[in-house]
A and B are shown apart, each in its own frame.
Chain A
């Protein structure tokens, strides 16, 4: 009965979404406020019902109810509990239900908390949000019902893709989805504002926390995904420009641009049309990314099942939402008045440059991701655009962007002097030059991009703190600290990336037990190889000890796992982390003489890549909390002033 209850809850949630949209549409046409009053409770009811539906699906997975088709296809009774739960969204139907559940909850949050917007804009936003949800409900109920039963009931399920049985990947999709859905709200805000022609600082202030929140989750999701690929694929790399990775990077790039342009709109009432466009593009990129991953049009190591029929359905949704929003943009933006003006050398100017560079990088990644498809379409050849293209094309732009990031926060709004700016950034510029000089002299064979990256990172690390210079640190608003932290995080991540790319040392050896291998300052000893067994896998495990210079001896145990239920082999790398880097050991195959392949990397400062990512997200979080607190305080002050008067 649980499955039926879940399906009923889903249908009810869908009808609530329909009601929500209808109330908004009728209210707008008739101009009657009583329709508007009902929309908040309906949005809350929709959020609760769809969450209930999702919770019931989780329950089915926890109980391993093998009468449900989705559970059979993606679970197995002997699996650990945690992966039974995460198995709920480790598949197509479940993840779509998770998506629409988060979307419903976000709508409910707007219904409960949003008090800044004019009623009409708020209602239109909720209407637009419901309109998007209706498509997803239709998709779930018509094309991919997660609660479908199977008869006869099989004895056991088919298991979850072993690559997904990992805590990193278990938490990765929900994190990204929260980000995507946050962007759907920014999109709905933009559509609402275009319909009511109410674009201004108030609108930007209402939208900003949602954009910040979405961006924080996207940043965390991408960081976690990168670390997962790094240790789980056993490949030693942290970014592969795989279409699925690009699918999450593209919305992040758009959201980063949006985050900065919405600040210009909120603070200076500039960049109105551009901000609206970015809000539309950011969500479009989430949808397009989902589509590319789900439809099977692109080949990828971790794409979901190939299914053109479902692909067509999502493509139709894309056409309605994105095409519709872009048509609305073309029709309405002309009537949105231009905001205030500014000089090229100003805070706004730097933010415009930031936006243009981010958009250019987004364009490059987008084209690179789609290029194989285009070539296939015109020439019947299949090609893969690889890391060489992406690194070469995006690297230089990213470095320019980072340089502007150092200077931007030191510029004044509206108009500034070039000389004054040069004066302010003289120390970071000097540091960059000194670092560059030092690197050129003391290191060999660094690629030009890593060289510039490392040198720039030195400058930015200092420049990112410059906005706090000569300020009363206690009275500095929290969002300034957020910006400082996020920009500093970029410098940290950049050091990690450049250092990993340039200074990684690698040994590939065929070793017999007792052999010693030197990698950098590590002495790695291959002790033994033993079979081990887990709940649903067996493995060969190498016992390895490693010693950094003359310090304590560490133990590591890289494995080759065989999963019975999916007939699949995975490689569990062993990682030893020190403050200055990571030792990464992978166990390979054996040869006829009983020797085993061992691949050992020493990756100096590689962990800074993800620490940087976490700092960036933390900065975003600080900014969001700071903005929200400020909004609440200002409202209280206004209420107080009114009461006194």
Chain B
């Protein structure tokens, strides 16, 4: 056996160390500027994800009133953490549209039944093609869309309690 092969475990561990050390150093609350801001929502028409809520198309997102567009999935753990905040936003009178990414109707229904259903409309994005068009590669992710269907803000990751007032303010300003 080559002697230098024996160093591979240590090299791999160093790599792991570098990654998590960087993860620890990075502040968790950094604000991310998105390239999608200021652009209109791409054209799409997604079928309804569950029977109880209507389908979602681009036209539904340009109604003259600012709205939220939330990408989620039943298999996504941070989406569970986010659920109460979405319900709070709904309580505050925000209309929230959902895109269920790579999911099945049963799982979506289970998820919404367990953690609450704050959505007006939910489209199912089985191959996550619309999600990619939106420039989102992960779940959960939330877009603030103004009355003309233009993205004014992108929130990456789960919405925490402290993010709710900020989102409400952005929605207010978009109106």
Contact = CB atoms under 8 A, between A and B. Distances in A.
Interface of A: 234-236, 240, 242-243, 273, 277, 280-281, 284, 288, 291-292, 295, 297, 299-301, 306, 308, 311-312, 315, 318-319, 322-323, 326-327, 329-330, 333-334, 370, 372-377, 379-384, 386-388, 506, 508, 571, 586, 588, 597, 599
B24 interface: yes
A143 to B, nearest CB: 14
A330 B2 CA distance: 11
Contact of B78 (A326, A384, A571): A384
Interface string B45-86: 000000000000000000000000000010111111100000
B156 A381 contact: yes
A234 B30 CA distance: 34
Contacts of A597: 113
B138 interface: yes
Given A235-B110, A281-B9, A383-B137, A297 B20 contact: yes
A333 B6 contact: yes
Interface in B85-101: none
Interface string B7-46: 1011001101101111111101010100000000000000
B77 A382 contact: no
B172 interface: no
A380 B13 contact: no
Contacts of B20: 291-292, 295, 297, 315, 370, 373
Nearest to A391: B75
Contacts of A236: 110
Residue in B3, B10, B76, B140 whose Cβ sees the most chain A Cβ within 10 Å: B10
Given A297-B20, A599-B113, A384 B7 contact: no
A315 B138 contact: no
By Cβ-Cβ distance, the 4 closest A-B pairs, closest first, are A383-B138, A382-B157, A386-B75, A326-B10
A251 B107 CA distance: 30
B143 to A, nearest CB: 14
A291 B24 CA distance: 11
A416 to B, nearest CB: 25
Contacts of B79: 384
Q: Among B19, B21, B77, B113, which residue has the most Cβ atoms of chain A within 10 A?
A: B77
B146 interface: no
A240 B24 contact: no
B9 A280 contact: yes
B106 interface: yes
Nearest to A374: B19
B9 A380 contact: no
A370 B20 CA distance: 9
SS of B interface (majority): helix
Contact of A322 (B13, B23, B137): B13
The size bracket of the interface on B is 35 or more
B139 interface: yes
Contacts of B120: none
B134 to A, nearest CB: 12
A281 B13 CA distance: 10
Nearest to B116: A589
A383 B16 CA distance: 18
Contacts of A377: 19, 22-23, 26
Given A288-B16, A508-B110, 7 more contacts: A284-B13, A329-B9, A330-B7, A370-B20, A377-B22, A377-B23, A384-B79
Contacts of B81: 299, 301
B73 A386 contact: yes
A306 B30 CA distance: 16
18 contacts: A234-B114, A236-B110, A277-B9, A280-B9, A288-B16, A291-B20, A297-B24, A299-B158, A323-B13, A326-B13, A329-B10, A373-B19, A375-B137, A375-B138, A382-B78, A382-B157, A384-B77, A599-B113
A384 B139 contact: yes
B96 to A, nearest CB: 18
B17 A315 contact: yes
B109 interface: yes
